[in-house]
Amino acid sequence: RWGYGKEDGPSVWYKNYPVAEGSRQSPIDIVPNEASRDRSLDPIIINYDQCTSINISNNGHSVVVEFNDSDDRSVIKGGPLDNPYRLKQFHFHWGGKGCEGSEHTVSGTGFASELHLVHWNAVKYKTFGEASTAPDGLAVLGIFLETGDDHRWLHMITDVLYMVKYKDSITNFKGFNPKCLLPSRLHYWTYLGSLTTPPLHESVIWIVLKEPIEVSEKQLGMFRMLLFTGEEDDQRLRMENNFRPPQPLKGRIVHSSN
């Protein structure tokens, strides 16, 4: 139904998802010196210690690692959040060879890729689905990836991508703790936004970390061997440039931690 091509990409999503033209859409371009520096903004607290992954899959739009969210073993709290938010999944967005691929940009500059750790408010809502349509239902932690040295832990993911090359493929992926993908400093920008893919629900408290993590061009290239298309499709569409461009701020304020 929707994708990232000319006929089904971000510029036509509004036809089936009119909220695409809403007042709190994501991603956005973050302009640091226009962000309001709130000393009252607490640090974010990330408890992934008991966190373990279940599987990794190709949903035709990205590669997704899912977690057991039946209890509060892996949560994010503090910062702008009034409740702990439970980790549900993480996935990536990336570009083509050598060109940008992140969704958020900083003063107009994109990064090679962006990691999204998706959490939901299990205090106020019974299911992820219900939370995903509520204005304070989700909290997504965005982490920029820039190219440089090999990332010492990302190979745990890139080594299994061949198993999920095709759309709708899924394989076991237990024991991975995404704590190893966090940068050293948790300084962040935060603002109220949306899912960056259809259904584009305006239900996300975005927390974008200022410090990127470094991955090698070789590691990033492994993501580009994934396909948007299924095993039976005669078209073999390489999965790349699966990012939505920045959307209008529409009067929103971006807050900056110290």
Ligand X SMILES: NS(=O)(=O)c1ccc(B(O)O)cc1
Among ligand X, Zn ion, none, residue 86 binds (CB under 5-8 Å by kind): none
Site string for ligand X, 148-187 (x = CB under 6 A): ----------------------------------------
- Decide whether 146 or 150 has the Cβ nearer to Zn ion: 146
Among ligand X, Zn ion, none, residue 132 binds (CB under 5-8 Å by kind): ligand X
Length of the chain: 258
Which residues within the stretch 115-134 sit at the binding site for ligand X (CB under 6 A)? 116, 118, 132
- Decide whether 140 or 154 has the Cβ nearer to ligand X: 140
Least separation in angstroms between residue 258's CB and ligand X is: 25
Q: Is 61 an active-site residue?
A: yes
> Rule CB under 5 A: is residue 244 a binding residue for Zn ion?
no
Among Zn ion, ligand X, none, residue 25 binds (CB under 5-8 Å by kind): none
- Decide whether 43 or 145 has the Cβ nearer to Zn ion: 145
59 CB contacts (<8 Å, ≥6 apart)? 167, 168
Among ligand X, Zn ion, none, residue 203 binds (CB under 5-8 Å by kind): none
- Decide whether 140 or 213 has the Cβ nearer to ligand X: 140
Among 88, 116, 201, 255, binds Zn ion (CB under 5 A): 116
Instruction: Give me the residues that bind ligand X (CB under 6 A), please.
Output: 116, 118, 132, 140, 195-197
Catalytically active residues are 61
